Amino acid sequence: MTLEFFRNTAYYRREFNTWQERYNRDAPKKGDQAPDFELKDVSGEHIARLSQYQGKMPVALVFGSFT
């Protein structure tokens, strides 16, 4: 492993931690109303709004990326 890798890791880990601390303060906790949102799928043909499922079915949200 190179010095550059460790330097990058230290830098980006700090960035990630700062980002998480900032946004986690207002992120919904257990019992909170989930923030509503509307998103397109990968094809652009389907649009889903979280609130459309209210009263119909529970929803599991899985957040992530390919990398």
Query: Would you tell me which residues interact with another protein (CB under 8 A)?
Result: 1-2, 5, 8-9, 12-13, 15-16, 19-20, 23-24, 26-37, 39-44, 46, 48, 50-51, 53-67
CB 28 to another protein: min, Å: 5
CB 46 to another protein: min, Å: 7
| 38 close to 49: Cβ distance less than 8 angstroms | yes
3-class DSSP state of 47: strand
CB 42 to another protein: min, Å: 4
Query: What is the rounded distance in angstroms from the CA atom of residue 7 to the CA atom of residue 10?
Result: 5
